[in-house]
Each structure stands twice: as structure tokens, then as C-alpha cells.
Chain A
């Protein structure tokens, strides 16, 4: 069964303390790995799409990478405004539906 697992479930960082969030997937024939940021009471905000192993994308303090089994979201020198839930999703072949992980709740302390 196709599955997406995120870890850790929650993460507290001090401002400036870099870290990585993990997204493991078991989706045959991956057609896309997606990262979103969700603030409380709001819809997910698109961050990145990755399609093939070895691909990397960056945006400000965030960098997403992809291997054949997992994706990482690296956060460099985070700020309190980076606090949010980060969601990972995967799409397999023959469908437009996404399989979502349960998210990582990130709290960055000033």
C-alpha cells in the first residue's frame, strides 16, 4: 500500500538552529513529491515539487531534496516566522490524488 510518513511529529528549535524534516514514502512510480506549509486555521501553502531522485529546490531558508525513498526539508537558520506545520505529499501514477503525511509541527523559539 502506498504510504507517506513524516518525522518527527513535532520539533522545537531555537532561532538560528538548523535542522531537517523527513518524509519517507513508499509509492511505486513516483510522479511528484510535494511540500506544503500550513499555518493554524489556514489552507496549505505550496512550497516545492520534486520529481526525480537527486533533485533539489531552494526557497529562502528552505531546501528540499529527494532520494528514491525519502525527501528532506532542510531549514537553515530558522526564524520564529518559520513556525508552522510542514506537510509532505506524494503522487503515484494513474491518479491526480495526493497521499499526505501527517505533518511535522515546527516551533521556532526566539
Chain B
């Protein structure tokens, strides 16, 4: 249980194009999803918190017009990297929050490797 998928797993695009990454919770509903970015040999950097049916909350320094997040249903959140540039190349990982009483746990997707040429 608690499986999260991401699509695509890998994408290569030209500079200036937009790329959409999907994150789905397959066997549970997630009112909250998170988007992270990870650089080589570094830990996860939270980019934004995505809440179903409302606007995403972005972390300081993350451009909301650059990284568009939509959480249209309880099982799907999307991250669109607009007008991508080589510096946007990175490993993007989403997670979905499985709520459980007093506590809760984030379950992560397998990640998407974005390469911008």
C-alpha cells in the first residue's frame, strides 16, 4: 500500500520549452502533496506544498511563475516547469501525505530526471 507514481521518469527537452510532471497516489487519497528538488549527493529541497483544490504554497526563493503546480484531484498533482533552462536540470521528486490520526507519513514517488539542453 501507499504507492506514489511519477511520470515521466526521465525527460530531455530544449531550452525554452515547458515540461509537465505528474504525481499520482495510486492507492490512497492525498489532500496534500509536496514537490522536492534534489541535486547530486544532496538532500531533498522542498519547493512547494500542493493542496487539493487550492493554490500551492511555495518555499522562499522558488519562482511560482516558473514552477506551476496544480492539484486538481485527491490523487493527482502536476508540476509544470515553464520556459525551462539548463539550470532547471535536476531530479524532481513528489510525495503524497497519507494522513493517519495524530501522525502522518509522506510517501515518495520514484522521481523525474529533467535534462534541459
Q: Are A43 and B93 CB-contacts (below 8 A) given A34-B106, A51-B102, A97-B49?
A: yes
B97 A44 Cβ-Cβ under 8 A: no
- Give residues 38-76 of B contacting A (CB, 8 Å): 41-44, 46, 49
B34 A97 Cβ-Cβ under 8 A: yes
- Give residues 64-89 of A contacting B (CB, 8 Å): 87
A100 B103 Cβ-Cβ under 8 A: no
Chain A residues contacting B102 (CB-CB under 8 Å) are 31, 51
- A32 CA / B34 CA spacing, docked (Å): 17
Interface majority SS (helix, strand, loop, mixed), chain B: strand
Number of A-B contacts (CB under 8 A): 52
Q: Does A42 contact B (CB under 8 A)?
A: yes
Q: Does B104 contact A (CB under 8 A)?
A: yes
A97 B46 Cβ-Cβ under 8 A: yes
* Range class of the A interface residue count: 20 to 34
Q: Are A87 and B110 CB-contacts (below 8 A) given A32-B104, A96-B97?
A: no
Chain A residues contacting B93 (CB-CB under 8 Å) are 43-44
State the Cβ distance, B5 to closest chain A Cβ, in Å. Answer: 10
Chain B residues contacting A96 (CB-CB under 8 Å) are 32, 49, 97, 104
A87 B43 Cβ-Cβ under 8 A: yes
Residue of A nearest to B10 (CB): A41
A residues with a Cβ closer than 8 A to B are 31-32, 34, 36, 41-46, 49, 51, 87, 96-98, 100-103, 105
B residues with a Cβ closer than 8 A to A are 2, 4, 6, 32, 34, 41-44, 46, 49, 91, 93, 95, 97, 102-111, 113
17 A-B pairs, CB-CB below 8 angstroms? Answer: A31-B102, A34-B106, A42-B110, A43-B4, A43-B6, A44-B44, A44-B93, A45-B108, A46-B2, A46-B105, A46-B106, A46-B108, A96-B104, A98-B46, A101-B43, A103-B43, A105-B41
